[in-house]
Structure 1
Amino acid sequence: MSPAAGVHSTPVPADPAIDAMVAALPKVSLHCHLIGSVAPRTVVDLAREHGVALGRSADDLYDHSSYEDLGEFLRVLDVIGSLIRDVDDFSRVTYESLTAGGADHGVLYREVHLSPPGHPGVPYPRILEGVLAGARAAEADTGIRAGFVVGICRERSGAAAVELVEQVVEHRVDEVLGIGLDYAEVNGPPGRFAEAYRLAARAGLRRTAHSESGPPHHVEVLLDQLGCSRVDHGYHVVDDPVITARCAEERVPFTCTPVSSDIGRYSGSGDGTHRRIAEMVDAGLCVTIDSDDPPMSGTDPTHDHRVLAHALGWRRDRLAALTRDAVEACWLDGTDKAALLARVEAMVATTPDAPPLQEDPA
């Protein structure tokens, strides 16, 4: 039986002090995929509306442990994406991601990753209309702000990537801040997409890309050939001290996702230590924390912070520093960044700390 909806894939002990701390902390979300953030009950509703038989209920829809196999994870992701078809569908899932999946966890600002290739047959303008409607409603109801990052599927051709960027440029809106690169790295080395990234640069779009399982050299490709201003995941950068030192000096941000990456055995070899994230922070890198594909990965913004608090002993000041890094790394303009940082500092000031991790006397 798959885990029940709402059950965290990485359980941690009950600790009221840590729970209160992470719940109160302000959060800035730079790595959250729209398709992967659809609540199980919403998936079931969409399937029913579109006449699709899932063969599962909301209680056993997501099998977190099976996502160690990236192919299985992407298969489920594609099924969900195929169910989000109409303007109202996109509006609903965006609104829910930003409110129940965001503002309710102290998220003040989120840059939502869209995957147009994951919605077969759906025109990009329809996607845009729906997500903008959902984002505006969420801001009106909760105050959360959102921008969007349009993801290129690296399993498709470089020409397809150029075509998608052309669509983004043709239908340019202020809320679409930039482009990204996702899906299986082994099937799409980053250099293949240099032309699409050059087109995005000429149009003034920001650029990021996933580098979760690739070698450290891929980080250099993202920076030097694709012109990325930040890197999604990037845990293996610490395997190369020269590249790590460069990224620390240049303040290249890395958007880390503890729970989902641990399932895939990237950020801590699947052992719950999250040692690579700790090594990145210790090396002086600019590191942000997010949830990637909640609840598909059995997590949420609060839980990812809770996991690090337990595994690494990080408390309010260390976790708040990661939120400040996220403000620095986000794609808002200077004025809006300053306003966001002021909100962060005000919330940190009222966040209760938790006792430090007790050393094992043995």
Structure 2
Amino acid sequence: MSNTQTSGRSIGNVPAPRTGRTVTAAQRDIFRRIPKVELHCHLLGAVRQSTFAELAAMRAAPVTSDQIASFYARGARPVGVLHVLRTLEKHILLTPDDFRRIAYEYLEDAAREGVRHAEFFWNPTATIRDAKLPYAALQDAIVAGMRDAEREFGISSLLIPSIDREATPDDAVAMVELLIANRDDSVPGIGIDYRENDRPPELFAEAYHRARRAGLRATAHAGEFGMPWTNVATALDLLQVDRIDHGYSILENPALVERCVERGIVFTIVPTNSYYLRTLEPERWAAEHPIRAMARAGLKLHPNSDDPTLHNVTPGGAWELMYSHLGFDIAALRQMMLHGLDGAWIDTARRTAWAAAWPIEFDALTTATSWQESTLP
């Protein structure tokens, strides 16, 4: 992870902080060590560069070493990661064991960052279509990697098969039916992601309704890429999701914000989100980032890495950016840690135990050094 600096660019290649804050090596280590869940990470966005290169060579994939390096070198105005993910789906990840490996490696890396529990997204549709691999074998392989990681690193995890918005609504229904036919306690629900533009959530209502009737949990990417607040409302009201991934455009509708505050909806936000790095000027990026306004409005936020290896950020780095660049204080981060437990699809006993123990651990870590107050207006 890159150091936070007062000039130049830093973690995730975001603009230099305007808060006047610097982060010491000791503080950086604290952000890494604080207990946390990760609720918003894409499996294919967490593939190590070395693994990508090794598998590409094994498969004689039509991608050069320079192209692979460029995938992991985030520019000042990043173009997003969809083309990288499609390359992985079509040319690189071609056996179930590839998926076992990347799940295991992601969780190994996350455990080093203080992540005690991870819930991560995986889009099976393109792999089933392009690599001609059966859903059951893919899910079994990923779950095997998850169980190996828990045994070796102590990190628990849940898999969230996710609808590919760029496929058809019928493809979404087919994916849900495959999940229902291959139920596993480690695979408790569905999500939806990929490009939101021109693919509103109502197109996929039938897939969500089938999932809900089968007792599955649900989340959805909504209100990202500058898409309207109505997508957030539809995800909540029509798709009946438990939490929202991103959700930034909710700020356009104060009544919807108030409703989400009252319901305690958790928003899994991403400080390194590419859209705002492209659309906000560097000197205004932090001040005008919707994450700050969402917090001021009282929404329950939880920071995540999203596509950690492609965003050049770790889970601990995402938390560091909330402090160093976006101006939150340690008390706010402590509360966000608990928001993560509120939003996690874990059993009540574990949530209660962690909610009692983690604040004690957090306080023991953070009281060892001094911190600056919030810079939120």
TM-score where L is the length of structure 1? 0.90
> Over residues 23-62 of structure 1, what are the superposed CA-to-partner deviations in whole Å (9 max), with x where a residue is unaligned?
2211110000000000111100111222214212565442
Q: In structure 2, do the counterparts of structure 1 residues 352 and 66 end up closer, same or farther at CA, with 3 Å as the change threshold?
A: closer
For 2:361, which of 300, 325, 347 is the aligned residue? 347
**Match for residue 260 of structure 2?**
247
Q: In structure 2, do the counterparts of structure 1 residues 306 and 208 end up closer, same or farther at CA, with 3 Å as the change threshold?
A: same
RMSD: 2.5
Deviation at 1:185, TM superposition (A): 0.8
For structure 1, the 5+ residue unaligned runs are 1-5
> Over residues 175-220 of structure 1, what are the superposed CA-to-partner deviations in whole Å (9 max), with x where a residue is unaligned?
1111111111113111011111100001111111111132111111
Which stretch shows the higher mean deviation, 47-56 or 148-157? Answer: 47-56
**Cα separation, 2, equivalents of 1:241 and 1:46:** 48
**Match for residue 22 of structure 1?**
31
Deviation at 1:271, TM superposition (A): 1.8
**Match for residue 69 of structure 1?**
79
**Match for residue 80 of structure 1?**
88
Q: In structure 2, do the counterparts of structure 1 residues 67 and 89 end up closer, same or farther at CA, with 3 Å as the change threshold?
A: farther
Q: Is the 8 A contact 1:94 1:135 kept in 2?
A: yes
TM-score where L is the length of structure 2? 0.87
Which stretch shows the higher mean deviation, 9-18 or 42-51? Answer: 9-18
Which stretch shows the higher mean deviation, 20-29 or 54-63? Answer: 54-63
> Over residues 67-102 of structure 1, what are the superposed CA-to-partner deviations in whole Å (9 max), with x where a residue is unaligned?
7334xx2111111233122222111100111111x1
Deviation at 1:357, TM superposition (A): 3.0
**Match for residue 277 of structure 1?**
291
Q: In structure 2, do the counterparts of structure 1 residues 40 and 28 end up closer, same or farther at CA, with 3 Å as the change threshold?
A: same
Deviation at 1:286, TM superposition (A): 1.2
**Match for residue 259 of structure 1?**
272
**Cα separation, 1, equivalents of 2:235 and 2:181:** 24
Amino acid at match of 1:97: Y
Sequence identity of aligned pairs in percent? Answer: 30
- What secondary structure does 2:285 align onto? coil
**Cα separation, 1, equivalents of 2:76 and 2:292:** 26
Q: In structure 2, do the counterparts of structure 1 residues 274 and 147 end up closer, same or farther at CA, with 3 Å as the change threshold?
A: farther
**Match for residue 120 of structure 2?**
112
**Cα separation, 2, equivalents of 1:111 and 1:141:** 18
**Match for residue 142 of structure 2?**
131
Q: Is the 8 A contact 1:24 1:106 kept in 2?
A: yes
Q: Is the 8 A contact 1:9 1:298 kept in 2?
A: yes
Amino acid at match of 1:110: A
- What secondary structure does 2:311 align onto? coil
Q: Kindly report which structure 2 residues correspond to 1:176-255, keeping only aligned pairs within 5 A, or say none.
A: 176-211=187-222, 212-213=224-225, 214-255=227-268
Q: Is the 8 A contact 1:9 1:65 kept in 2?
A: yes
Q: Is the 8 A contact 1:109 1:144 kept in 2?
A: yes
Q: In structure 2, do the counterparts of structure 1 residues 151 and 359 end up closer, same or farther at CA, with 3 Å as the change threshold?
A: closer
**Cα separation, 2, equivalents of 1:146 and 1:76:** 24
For structure 2, the 5+ residue unaligned runs are 1-9
> Over residues 218-261 of structure 1, what are the superposed CA-to-partner deviations in whole Å (9 max), with x where a residue is unaligned?
11101111111111100111121111001000111110010134
**Cα separation, 1, equivalents of 2:39 and 2:101:** 20
Amino acid at match of 1:68: P
Q: What is the count of residue pairs matched by the alignment?
A: 352
**Cα separation, 1, equivalents of 2:374 and 2:220:** 38
Q: Is the 8 A contact 1:86 1:126 kept in 2?
A: no
Q: Is the 8 A contact 1:32 1:111 kept in 2?
A: yes
Q: Is the 8 A contact 1:32 1:291 kept in 2?
A: yes
